[in-house]
């Protein structure tokens, strides 16, 4: 049985808050403008001391690997999530609430029906998606979306079977909701993937506002 894990954006805050307040703490790290490997160039926006060097100042990664880019299509509206199907075609979500298949030559399929209604205001909408590791046999798709409700919007995770004709998602079912709902329209999170052992990992947000941020560290909030 697959397990689902959420990865709140507040993980970094949890690590920082776990630091002790004794005198052995390292001093808050400062960026080095002269250091080309430093990603951060502005002063820290917190007085928390890092638990170890480099915790809050991630170094840049440089590579000499050659790469090329090519525009596949400009026919999509606000594409958000993308995953590859076994045959190389791309399954893509559009923020407004539609899912489409795009070939590597740029042909865009019709909107796939059967998907839950989304709240696409602000940063919400139809977000990340992935396919089941056993997609070849079960054709299951998993996706994240901002779900509207009577108590506000929330981050939800759903799954369903892509029909054989690729026209609809069959038996779409919500398998997780990041409660409580909130009337804001920011910081839903929304990335989703399977790890090597078959667990489903999902990122969720703290919904941006000061009133909701403490819930990212609350064991009573799901």
At residue 37, the pLDDT reads: 63
Structure tokens at 206: 């703290």
At residue 204, the pLDDT reads: 92
**Residue ranges for the chain with pLDDT beneath 50:** 9-35
At residue 107, the pLDDT reads: 98
At residue 1, the pLDDT reads: 55
Cα four-point dihedral sign 74, 76, 82, 86: negative
At residue 6, the pLDDT reads: 63
At residue 42, the pLDDT reads: 80
> Tens of pLDDT along 35-58?
456 677 787 777 778 888 777 777
58 Cβ contact list (under 8 Å, min separation 6) = 39, 40
Delimit the domains of the chain by residue range.
4-8+75-215
Q: Out of 156, 187, 190, 215, pick the active-site residue.
A: 187
d(CA 28, CA 94): 41
Pick the CATH number of 4-8+75-215 from 2.120.10.30, 2.60.40.10, 3.30.420.40, 3.40.50.300: 2.120.10.30
Q: Is 51 exposed, middle or buried (0-12, 13-18, 19+ CB in 10 A)?
A: middle
d(CA 146, CA 83): 19
At residue 21, the pLDDT reads: 41
Active-site residue flag, 116: no
d(CA 118, CA 147): 5
pTM above 0.85, yes or no: no
Structure tokens at 18: 């776990």
Instruction: Please state, as a whole number, how many other Cβ atoms lie within 10 Å of the Cβ of residue 4.
Output: 14
Q: Which of 207, 51, 202 is nearest to 127 (CA)?
A: 202
d(CA 190, CA 126): 9
* Kind of pairing between the strands at 98-102 and 126-131: unpaired
CA 151 to chain centre: 23
> Tens of pLDDT along 100-118?
999 999 999 999 999 999 9
């Amino acid at each position: 049985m697959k397990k689902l894990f959420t990865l709140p954006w507040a993980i970094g805050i949890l690590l920082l808050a776990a630091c002790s307040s004794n005198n052995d703490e390292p001093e808050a790290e400062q960026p080095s403008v002269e250091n080309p490997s430093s990603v951060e160039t502005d002063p820290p926006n917190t007085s928390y001391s890092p638990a170890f060097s480099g915790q809050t100042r991630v170094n840049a990664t440089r590579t000499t690997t050659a790469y090329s880019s090519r525009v596949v299509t400009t026919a999509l509206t606000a594409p958000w999530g993308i995953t590859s199907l076994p045959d190389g075609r791309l399954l893509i979500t559009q923020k407004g609430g539609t899912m489409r298949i795009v070939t590597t030559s740029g042909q865009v399929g019709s909107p796939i029906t059967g998907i839950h209604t989304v709240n696409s205001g602000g940063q919400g909408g139809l977000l990340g998606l992935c396919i089941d590791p056993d997609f070849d046999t079960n054709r299951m798709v998993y996706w994240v979306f901002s779900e509207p409700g009577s108590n506000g919007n929330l981050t939800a995770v759903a799954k369903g079977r892509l029909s054989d004709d690729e026209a609809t998602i069959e038996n779409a079912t919500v398998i997780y909701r990041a409660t409580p709902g909130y009337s804001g329209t920011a910081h839903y999170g929304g990335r989703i993937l399977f790890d090597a052992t078959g667990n489903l990992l999902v990122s969720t947000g703290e919904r941006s506002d000061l009133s909701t941020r403490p819930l990212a560290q609350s064991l009573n909030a799901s």
